[in-house]
Amino acid sequence: AAGALVYVGYEIYLMRHPAEQEVPEEGKKTLVVLGTGWGSVSLLKKLDTENYNVIVISPRNYFLFTPLLPSCTTGQIEHRSIMEPVRNFLRHKKTAVKFYEAEATKIDYKKKVVYINDESEIKGNVRTSEIAFDMLVVGVGAENATFGIPGVREHGLFLKEVGDAQKIRRRIMDCCETAVFRDQSPEERARLLHMVVVGGGPTGVEFAGELQDFFQDDLRKWIPEIQDNFHVTLVEALPNVLPMFSKQLIDYTERTFKEETITIRTKTMVKKVHEKYIEAESTGPDGQKITENIPYGLLVWATGNALRPVVKDLMMQIPAQKDSRRGLLVNEYLVVKGTEDIWAVGDCAIANYAPTAQVASQEGAFLARLFNNIAKTQAIEDKLSQLSDLQSKAPNKEERDQVFADIKELQKRLRRVKQMGPFEYSHQGSLAYIGSDKAVADISWLTGNVATGGGLTYIFWRSAYLSMCWSMRNRILVVMDWAKTKMFGRDVSR
Ligand code: NAD
């Protein structure tokens, strides 16, 4: 039919206009999903929306493919290539899903209500509202950890959202252009061109690698005056970077950084951030603590995740959550402990796995199966109760036997549907780009816990990330961005 959803292969659909979607039937349970990150979106992708009245709430009306976000900071990839509008994938659903662009400011778990706030720059007449739910999925992610270190929020830049990557891109160019301004002193030039990254997890390492590439491939050719002073330093409090990788890959990363002339400062903890320098405490070989000031032009702060206030507030309301510090404790079916109708996925949930995109998306897919199953179970149980009515009213033995056979068949199906095991994470491996066309990979499924690094791994990294992109549209845009950079270099305009 004209306008209906038609799958033509290769993830290309002929459009379904939202106006042609079915509306949820009266009496369906309201399922509210908070967030549009890895967890929530992977739930929405697989959820049969005809079973519920689904409402999605997020301050971001798009999904962001975060693994390629570090590439956006240098213009290697344009940010819109890794964004997918929520409305674009929701319109492919058979039954319409409501979306509100707003932040959930409070969840009242006893009243079963979410309070939301529209933070958009354009102020409508209505800015706040409340949404009642029967079932709630909390997939709001986390915010940047600062550990209360003074000056981080004022002077550091984070790398979590599209806006962060854009700010970093502008700041890099600002530092370069200001450093070569007429009569700039040598000290000030050196400061402006010192790019400091705090946090040696995958975010910090990937960003440092991308930034050094930017300098090597483009910046030093376009602005030769910065050649001698441009320098990237990675600061890490622990004795090594990338703690989740094997020793062999950590060594490989550290060697590669040395060749790329990126300085790694391990066992160095940043204590305070000032406008133009950081105060860091390092531990010498004799165990002695040394405090020093490190000047910077750009400071990128990548020290991991912290709880969002809305999650903290929810935890305070539930006695079973009071002792948790890192996030919402969930059971093996991802139900928030101490509640019955609230589930949590992704970085805001604590399910004994690292807070990664891989975990979040598997959790989301699990919940979709669980909710589809709950709906199927309900439908079979309704049918069963109708049949048992029918059986008692059946006029003759033949019909009674027929209904009895149908009941048996349905009971068998019900047992099958109800047999859903708990969530189990299947780790597909870890990958990280480390600059100069090299990547490291810890992959368990390929050849039994193989740890590889180097150029071939880089090709693998590229293809893996490409295949993980949300849509064919994203994939084409990313490939075009890579080709564009190869041909013309990165765009150095601010
Ligand atoms: P992280 O938590 O992995 O690393 C943060 C690092 O910052 C830690 O090593 C910590 O010791 C250090 N640190 C903290 N405070 C410090 C201070 N004051 N001074 C100096 N160093 C300090 O953070 P991340 O890299 O943002 O990653 C967050 C999560 O996302 C992790 O679970 C990670 O595995 C995942 N992730 C994975 C990939 C990938 O697989 N390619 C990429 C990005 C993020």
Q: Which residue has the higher pLDDT, 12 or 199?
A: 199
Taking the C-alpha atoms of residue 458 and residue 437, their distance in angstroms, rounded to an integer, is 6
So what's the pLDDT on residue 445? 65
Q: How confident is the model at residue 197 (pLDDT cuts 50, 70, 90)?
A: very high
So what's the pLDDT on residue 12? 56
Answer yes or no: is the C-beta of 346 below 6 A from any ligand 1 atom. no
Ligand 1, atom 18, lies closest to the CA of 270
Answer yes or no: is the C-beta of 180 below 6 A from any ligand 1 atom. no
CA of 430 to the centre of ligand 1 (A): 13
So what's the pLDDT on residue 2? 42
Complete edge-to-edge strand list for the sheet that includes strand 103-108: 103-108, 113-117, 128-132
Answer yes or no: is the C-beta of 468 below 6 A from any ligand 1 atom. no
Rounded (10°) CA dihedral 356, 362, 368, 372: -160
Whole-angstrom CA distances from 11 to 65, 260, 471, 472 are: 17, 39, 7, 6
Q: DSSP state, 324?
A: -
Answer yes or no: is the C-beta of 244 below 6 A from any ligand 1 atom. yes
Q: Rounded to an integer, what is the distance from CA 231 to the centroid of its chain?
A: 29
So what's the pLDDT on residue 13? 55
CA of 302 to the centre of ligand 1 (A): 6
Q: What is the mean pLDDT of residues 397-409?
A: 89
Reported as a single tens digit per residue, the pLDDT across 322-377 is: 889 899 999 999 999 999 999 999 999 998 888 999 999 999 999 999 999 999 99
Handedness of CA 270, 271, 272, 278 (dihedral sign): negative
So what's the pLDDT on residue 433? 93
Which of 197, 350, 356 is the pocket-test mutation for ligand 1 (most atoms within 8 Å of CB)? Answer: 356
Q: How confident is the model at residue 83 (pLDDT cuts 50, 70, 90)?
A: very high
Reported as a single tens digit per residue, the pLDDT across 21-60 is: 888 888 899 999 999 999 999 999 999 999 999 999 999 9
So what's the pLDDT on residue 446? 58
Answer yes or no: is the C-beta of 199 below 6 A from any ligand 1 atom. yes
Average pLDDT taken over every residue of the chain: 92
Q: Which of 157, 87, 138, 93 is nearest to 303 (CA)?
A: 157
Reported as a single tens digit per residue, the pLDDT across 434-484 is: 999 999 988 866 544 456 677 788 888 899 999 998 889 999 999 999 999
Which of 303, 326, 468 is the pocket-test mutation for ligand 1 (most atoms within 8 Å of CB)? Answer: 303
Reported as a single tens digit per residue, the pLDDT across 262-309 is: 999 999 999 999 999 999 999 888 889 999 999 999 999 999 999 999
Contact 29, 371 (CB under 8 A): no
CA of 203 to the centre of ligand 1 (A): 6
Contact 225, 190 (CB under 8 A): no
Q: Which residue has the higher pLDDT, 310 or 429?
A: 310
Reported as a single tens digit per residue, the pLDDT across 298-314 is: 999 999 999 999 999 99
Taking the C-alpha atoms of residue 22 and residue 25, their distance in angstroms, rounded to an integer, is 9
Name 282's bridge partners: 268, 290
So what's the pLDDT on residue 264? 98
Taking the C-alpha atoms of residue 207 and residue 209, their distance in angstroms, rounded to an integer, is 5
CA of 205 to the centre of ligand 1 (A): 9
Q: Which residue has the higher pLDDT, 325 or 106?
A: 106
So what's the pLDDT on residue 15? 59
CATH of domain 152-305+426-488: 3.50.50.100
Least confident of 31-35, 103-107, 238-242, 398-402: 398-402
The CATH number corresponding to 6-142+307-376 among 3.40.640.10, 3.50.50.100, 3.30.465.10, 3.20.20.140 equals 3.50.50.100
CA of 8 to the centre of ligand 1 (A): 41
Answer yes or no: is the C-beta of 66 below 6 A from any ligand 1 atom. no
CA of 70 to the centre of ligand 1 (A): 14
So what's the pLDDT on residue 16? 65
- The domain spans of the chain are 6-142+307-376, 152-305+426-488
Ligand 1, atom 34, lies closest to the CA of 356
Topology alike, domains 6-142+307-376 and 152-305+426-488: yes
